[in-house]
Structure 1
Amino acid sequence: MTTLLPEAALDRLLLQHEVEQFLFREADLLDRHEFDAWLELFADDLRYVMPIRLNLPSKDGETRESEQALALFDDDKPFLEARVRKLRTGSAWAEEPPSRTVRLVTNVMVGAPDPETGDFAVTSRFLLNRNRHEDEEDTYAGSRADRFRRTSDGLRIFERRIMLNQSVVLSKNLGVLF
């Protein structure tokens, strides 16, 4: 006996697959330094934030986050575009010569679309390995909380919050894009 999925369940599975493929493509674009194509994945009203992680004690011994924390990045789309322009000049010392990177994206969880706007939340985890010169290697691990919307050009991210696991960034610079 064959059981067919209800249409809503099938729609959720298709959306999950579409978002995962979107995030995998994004990682590939960044690893291949195709920054213009990467920028196209974001909406014009983008907010791209990477707060500094604070170690604040709580009752149960876990750390908690502060919404008032300073940020390593708090950018809009024009600022990201300026960063990409600088990378192309050859004068971005943190990326000259360009880093070799491998990004892995996992644990992708897609929230239900808002019934009024169609916007939806996506959380994921990432691991970014970066190698420069002969002996510089950095590894970043963390999570991302994205907000997506569907446009006539396809899915677009209009909000990204990146949380590194590190509370102190140990690498010499943060020249890579997350």
Structure 2
Amino acid sequence: MTVHVPVLTGAPTDQQLIDFVVREARMIDQQRFEEWLELYTDDAYYWMPLEWGQTDPKLTCSLMYEDKLLLKIRVERLKGNRTFSQKPKSRCHHVLQVPQVDRRDEAANEYVTWTPMHYVETRFDDQKLYAAWATHTLTVIDGQIRIKLKRVDLVNCEAAFGNIQLFM
């Protein structure tokens, strides 16, 4: 199911940025991972800090700090027939508060949103609930909004976690 997204002719409105963030979560929930991956710029990162207030993903350990290549490998693993940890497949559900546009820098073509959320991941009878804030650093390329950085800060980031199979 592909959702038609109009080509932007100028800077995105706040509502277009908010709609983008909501659509991105829906793609994950619907396991449209290849389409979701297309939302990322070629030099994008998906970051989940390990420490509260962490400012550098390279000098401090992170739960995840993945470039587009690593994200692509994870997507391939999720759809693989030999990925026994995904038989049956994990499913997830995002409950988002309304995303807020924190910064607009049209000259730099950079827009930042902040979204409080709850995220549920389930497989068999195991269900995990996470509370987090997602910060999207967005840009517009060829009239389409794209993700340069998605940072997911877990409220209890210092806790011991099992495997997080999907994407928050």
Task: State the TM-score, normalized to the length of structure 1.
Answer: 0.78
Once the two structures are superposed, the pairs formed by residues 1-178 of structure 1 within 5 Å of their partners are 15-54=13-52, 65-67=53-55, 68-133=59-124, 135-166=125-156, 167-170=158-161, 172-178=162-168
Q: Distance in 1 between matches of 2:138 and 2:95?
A: 20
Q: Which amino acid aligns with 1:66?
A: Q
- Is the helix fraction higher in 1 or 2? 1
- Give per-residue Cα distances to partners, 1:115-152, cap 9 Å, x unaligned: 4222111111121112211x201011101122111111
- Residue 112 of structure 1, CA deviation: 3.8
**Relative to 1, partners in 2 of residues 1:127 and 1:145: Cα closer, same or farther, differing over 3 Å?**
same
Assess, with a 3 A threshold, how the Cα gap between structure 1 residues 26 and 115 changes in structure 2: closer, same or farther.
Answer: closer
- Taking the aligned partners of 1:97 and 1:53, their CA distance within structure 2 comes to 32
Is the 2:18–2:99 Cα contact (8 Å) retained in structure 1? Answer: yes
Change (3 A) 1:98 1:139: same
Contact 1:99–1:131 (Cα < 8 Å) also in 2: yes
Is this contact kept in 1: 2:92–2:119, CA < 8 A?
yes
Shift of 1:153: 4.5
- Equivalent residue pairs, number: 155
Aligned 8 A contact 2:114 2:134 in 1: yes
Larger mean CA deviation between 90-99 and 102-111 belongs to 90-99
C-alpha separation between the residues in 1 aligned to 2:167 and 2:15? Answer: 24
| Residue 95 of structure 1: how far off its partner (Å) | 2.9
Q: 1:98 to 1:144 in 2, by over 3 A?
A: same
Give the share of equivalent positions with the same residue, in percent.
Answer: 23
CA contact (8 A) 2:45 2:149 kept: yes
8 Å Cα contact 2:136-2:151 kept in structure 1? yes
Distance of 1:108 and 1:28 partners within structure 2: 14
User: Quick one: which amino acid aligns to residue 138 of structure 1?
Assistant: K
Report the AA paired with residue 160 of structure 1: K
Equivalent residues of 1:94, 1:173 under 8 A apart: no
CA RMSD of aligned residues (A): 2.1
* TM-score normalised per structure 2: 0.82
